[in-house]
Amino acid sequence: LGDVFVYLLNVMNVYEEFNVPMSAVKSFLTNISGLYLDNPYHNNKHGYDVAHCVYRLVTIAGLNGVFSHLEFFSLLLAAVGHDVGHPGVNNVYLVKAKNELALRHNDRSPLGNMHCSVIYDVLNKEESNVFVGLSDGQWREARKVILAAVLGTDMSHHFEQISKIKLFQE
């Protein structure tokens, strides 16, 4: 599954532009894949599928000329890990059940916050740190993109996001 992702990053020249070791990408993908739970939809195949769809949507729409390379790279990392560790229930259920995730994240996007935490747990491992070659400013920009993208998958924000897109189109 990770081979396509590795290829896409190569096409984007990520390895050279951001001094990303291929071994770090492979370790990141192996770790993220292994942390997806075995459920019928929110599994590692879904993560790779979303990453590929994001790549295609961005390139077909020509947004790769609008996003910086770092934003595009970060968006793909967010996509591949956006549902890592997903237990197969939604945020509303977790909040109503007083689940540990909901309590830990004060009932605000417990799944999205957990996904972000897991992504950064993997990135904080030396062997999986695909951001090792980034400057501090680049690291912060990448983090901003990843957090916004993953937290943006919370359906409670859906209608607000649609309104913003419509306003942008106008």
Question: Annotated active-site positions, please?
Answer: 42
Q: What are the C-alpha distances in Å from 88 to residues 4, 24, 37, 93?
A: 26, 29, 9, 10
Q: How far is CA 153 from the centre of its chain?
A: 10
Q: Is residue 45 within 8 Å of 1, Cβ to Cβ? A: yes
Distance CA 93, CA 164 (A): 27
Q: Is residue 101 within 8 Å of 94, Cβ to Cβ? A: yes
The CA dihedral of 39, 73, 157, 144, to the nearest 10 degrees, is 120
